[in-house]
Amino acid sequence: MPTGEAYSHVDDLSALLGRLDVKQAALVGLSMGGAIALDFALMHPQRIQALVLIDTVLGGFPWSPESAEREELIWQRARAGGIPAAKEAWFDHRLFVPARRKPEVAARLARIIDDYPGWHFVNANPERSPDPPAAQRLHEIQAPVLALVGGEDTSDFLEITARIWRQVPHAAGAVVSGVGHMANMEAPEQVNEAIQQFLDHQKTHSEPAA
């Protein structure tokens, strides 16, 4: 758990890769994990082979009033009823409406949320965020990027992905039809196939000619 000291997800990821002696990596991130991968690519470009972003968050992106209001509701519930109330509001978030339509996905999502300690719901978060944020620096990313988004995700996440397609020099991707924010859980075969094809393509084109 965080303490009162400032921390950075990017620094933690860098330390992990260092401990594992991984010089370069292809990073795959969903939602907030995608935002961390983007920040890492901007701060450590020499350590990135490729990025796969799924329904990604983007640091510095201006959220719509509707999204901001829905997020604030979670914190209101946390202040009123503590971590359990915040978790319930989180699970009920419209982000997860498509996932909740599939019982097996809904059950897995509920377990994930239940396992989350919820520290951030009731404490001030001392996380250090990059300045300027990734939303202002997408053009700097030189690694190949695959950006996927569920067709039933919210308009903010569709716009984030479209912005990545437009502004990252070597970005490609697709809209995964019939699924929402948890595209990797809602359509695992389709998402895994897209990732595998992308990584195979990167490997083929990075290998020296015989």
Give me the pLDDT at residue 207, please: 60
pLDDT band at 208 (very low <50, low <70, confident <90, very high): low
Q: At 18, which CATH number?
A: 3.40.50.1820
Structural domain contains residue 1: no
pLDDT band at 205 (very low <50, low <70, confident <90, very high): confident
Domain count, the chain: 2
Q: Enter the tokens of residue 156.
A: 């903010």
pLDDT at 210 over 50: no
The answer on 52 and 71 residing in a single domain is no
The answer on 196 and 135 residing in a single domain is yes
The answer on 137 and 198 residing in a single domain is yes
Mean pLDDT of 63-85: 94
Give me the pLDDT at residue 178, please: 95
pLDDT tens per residue, range 110-143: 999 999 999 999 999 999 999 999 999 999 999 9
Please confirm whether the linkage preceding 132 is cis (ω < 30° from 0). Answer: yes
Q: SS3 sequence, the chain?
A: CCCCCCECHHHHHHHHHHHCCCCCEEEEEECHHHHHHHHHHHHCHHHEEEEEEECCCCCCCCCCHHHHHHHHHHHHHHHHHHHHHHHHHHHCCHHHHHHHCCHHHHHHHHHHHHHCCCHHHHCCCCECCCCCCHHHCHHHCCCCEEEEEECCCCHHHHHHHHHHHHHCCCEEEEEECCCCCCHHHHCHHHHHHHHHHHHHHHHHHHCCCC
Compute the chain's Rg from CA coordinates.
18
Domain that holds residue 110: 65-122
The answer on 142 and 41 residing in a single domain is yes
The answer on 187 and 135 residing in a single domain is yes
The answer on 134 and 201 residing in a single domain is yes
Q: What percent of the chain has pLDDT over 70?
A: 98
